[in-house]
Amino acid sequence: MSKGLFITFEGIDGCGKSTQLNLLKEEFTKQGIEFIEVREPGGTRVGEKIRTILLDRKNDSMTRMAELLLFEAARAQITEEVIIPALEKGVNVICDRFYDSTTAYQGYANKMGRDLTDFLNLKATNETYPDITLLLDIDPETACRRRSERGEADRIEALGLAYQEAVREGYLELAKSEERIKVLDADRTPEAIYEEIHNLIWDLIS
Ligand code: TYD
């Protein structure tokens, strides 16, 4: 049996990931393509508890290292408990963020360094790599406008525009060396962006 396709969505806060992820889910459902959807941090009992700690604005004293290790802990749990078993059963996995988020947010923006984040990412995922990563690239001001329509910012969103700019640069730097990461201009209509996503995914499926 062939393994499932592992698809990840990435981008700064407010980049429009959820809309695109929903469009892909709708199309998979319509076409009878089997998939599961997961999100990071979270997606498991243990992971959702870690998520609450990570995003709680009251936890503003959290150190950068504690934050990094909590993201990796949630990732280790979901990879072993959910992602690997699904892929091995031939089920496609659509993941809202995966380890590239850690590279961009903790590695680049928080300056924890690629050596450390690469090492922890490998350990936490047992070397489970996405087949394709859809990076929705947008300037932080546009993203911030979109995001503010969604309500109060969580602890990480509250770090502001300069932080989101550093995250964006981290993603773009990372994309230069990773063939699987497809950089998509997210400052377009949802339909135009989705058309590109559809073409990329169907190239892999067929
Ligand atoms: P979430 O509400 O899921 O954000 P979004 O809808 O934008 O995906 O919150 C996740 C937050 O955690 C988001 O600000 C990105 C951040 N994050 C990291 O800093 N490192 C990571 O490894 C992951 C997975 C997320």
Q: Which of 9, 69, 105 to mutate to test the pocket of ligand 1 (most atoms within 8 A of CB)?
A: 105
| 106, part of any domain | yes
Q: Is residue 88 part of a domain?
A: yes
pLDDT confidence of 151, banded at 50, 70, 90? confident
Q: Are 105 and 163 in contact (CB under 8 A)?
A: no
Which pTM value belongs to this model? Answer: 0.96
Atom 10 of ligand 1, residue of closest alpha carbon: 41
* Structural domain that includes position 189: 6-205
Any atom of ligand 1 within 6 Å of the Cβ of 28:
no
Specify the amino acid at residue 206.
S
Residue 119 placed within a domain:
yes
Q: What is the pLDDT of residues 42-80, one digit of tens each?
A: 999 999 999 999 999 999 999 999 999 999 999 999 999
Percent composition of the chain: helix, strand, coil (DSSP 3-state, to 5): 60, 15, 30
Q: Count how many domains the chain has.
A: 1
Closest residue by CA, ligand 1 atom 4: 13
Question: Which ligand 1 atom is the nearest neighbour of the CA of 110?
Answer: 19
Instruction: Please check whether residue 141 lies inside any domain of the structure.
Output: yes
* Distance between Cα 41 and ligand 1 center (Å): 7
For residue 166, the SS3 value is helix
Whichever domain contains 102, its CATH number is: 3.40.50.300
Q: Confidence band (pLDDT; 50, 70, 90) for 168? A: very high
Dihedral of alpha carbons 130, 125, 64, 66, sign: positive
Q: Ligand 1: which of 13, 52, 64, 167 to mutate, most ligand atoms within 8 Å of CB? A: 13
CA atoms within 13 A on the CB side of 74: 27
192 within domain boundaries: yes
Is there a domain that residue 1 lies in? no
95-129 residues labelled b (16+ CB within 10 A) or e (exposed): bbbbbbbbbbbbbbbbebeeeebeebbeebbeebe
